[in-house]
Amino acid sequence: MATTDQDRPLVGILWMLATGLAFVVVTGVVRHLGTDLPAAQSAFIRFLYGLVFLMPSLLSILRRGLPAGAWRLVLGRGVLHVVAVTLWFFAMARIPVAEVTAIGYLNPIVVTVGAALIFGERLAMRRIVAIAVALLGALVILRPGLRDVAPGHLAQLGAAVSFGLSYLIAKRLSADLPAGALVALLSLTVTLGLAPLALMAWVPPTLEHLAWLGLVAAFATFGHYAMARAFAAAPLTVTQPVTFLQLVWAALLGWVVFGEAVDPYVLLGGAMIIAAISYMTWREAKARRRAITPAPDAAKL
């Protein structure tokens, strides 16, 4: 029997494992940099690297022009992403790696709710229950009232919401623009949007800072490539549960490298969120409907 494009589960799992490792390296490097540079400046330098990588394709896209009305959506997505990446860099420098990773799993929940509110997508009872389980998982991670909820936690929650809304706009734009154009235009708008924020609190970066942020850009780019390969090789129902291992690796990284205690509540809460997302994805696949729920890594840097 001929192998279909999405009939290679082992290949998809291996690519998704590579995706998780790449994004854990990204979070580890940003955690290592800490507060040496302002969050907006770190994000600006990371996206400036990406813009250089994508400049040839970006120039081609700009020469061809965009469909009518697309620029408004492109700019709106850029604004949301500027907010998201600034909050993410802020959170990453201030709270444990595993907590940033676990809270970030809420991105698809934001997309699911947003799809219902903005696109009119119907929320069946099973989706409502899954969303409730995911939100309960977030409460398990944060445990408000039982411990202090730090500014870093609030920043990462804001980043998850902003990333989710950005993804919704990307879904709308994907009907008119190819994936490569979306990535290139996002790099352009985010770099331009971050520039004034970075300049307002500019700290002269050292060569070491620039090298580390170049590494962030390289691994983030590879992570998105590996994720695309995973999606092409196997269905989301196969690859999505694998993303939980990213939380395990993030917890190990925080413990081994940064001396952060492994919090079982963070692992439990993250598992609840991933279980809820995986259930929604499985139901969508079973019903043969086009799922709008993205993988947790789909809104990464």
Is 3 buried (19+), middle (13-18) or exposed (0-12) by CB count in 10 A?
exposed
Task: Report pLDDT for 268.
Answer: 93
Per the prediction, the chain carries an average pLDDT of 85
Which of 107, 108, 98, 300 is CA-nearest to residue 219? 300
| Mean pLDDT, residues 260-265 | 89
The full set of domain ranges for the chain reads 9-299
Split at pLDDT 50, 70, 90, the class of 83 is very high
Task: Report pLDDT for 237.
Answer: 66
| Mean pLDDT, residues 188-197 | 94
Split at pLDDT 50, 70, 90, the class of 155 is very high
Other CB atoms within a 10 A radius of the CB of residue 292 amount to 18
Split at pLDDT 50, 70, 90, the class of 295 is low
Name the least confident of 83-87, 209-213, 274-278, 287-291: 287-291
Higher pLDDT, residue 266 or 145: 266
Separation CA 68–CA 93 (nearest Å)? 40
Name the least confident of 8-22, 59-73, 148-162, 230-244: 230-244
pLDDT digits (tens, 9 = 90+) for 224-240: 788 778 877 877 667 77
Placement of tokens 């997309």 in the chain: 111
Asked if residues 115 and 190 have their Cβ atoms less than 8 Å apart, the reply is: no
Separation CA 195–CA 199 (nearest Å)? 6
Which of 102, 111, 91 is CA-nearest to residue 142? 102
Task: Report pLDDT for 293.
Answer: 53
Higher pLDDT, residue 93 or 155: 155
Is the pLDDT confidence value at 2 over 60? no
Split at pLDDT 50, 70, 90, the class of 1 is very low
Is 283 buried (19+), middle (13-18) or exposed (0-12) by CB count in 10 A?
middle
Measured in degrees and rounded to the nearest 5, phi and psi for residue 4 equal -80, 170
Task: Report pLDDT for 234.
Answer: 76
Per-residue burial over 186-222, b = 16 or more CB atoms within 10 Å of its CB, e = otherwise: bbbbbbebbbebbeeeeeebeeebeebbbbbbbbbbb
Taking every pair of Cα atoms in the chain, the longest distance, rounded to a whole number of angstroms, is 61
Is 264 buried (19+), middle (13-18) or exposed (0-12) by CB count in 10 A?
exposed
Task: Report pLDDT for 195.
Answer: 96
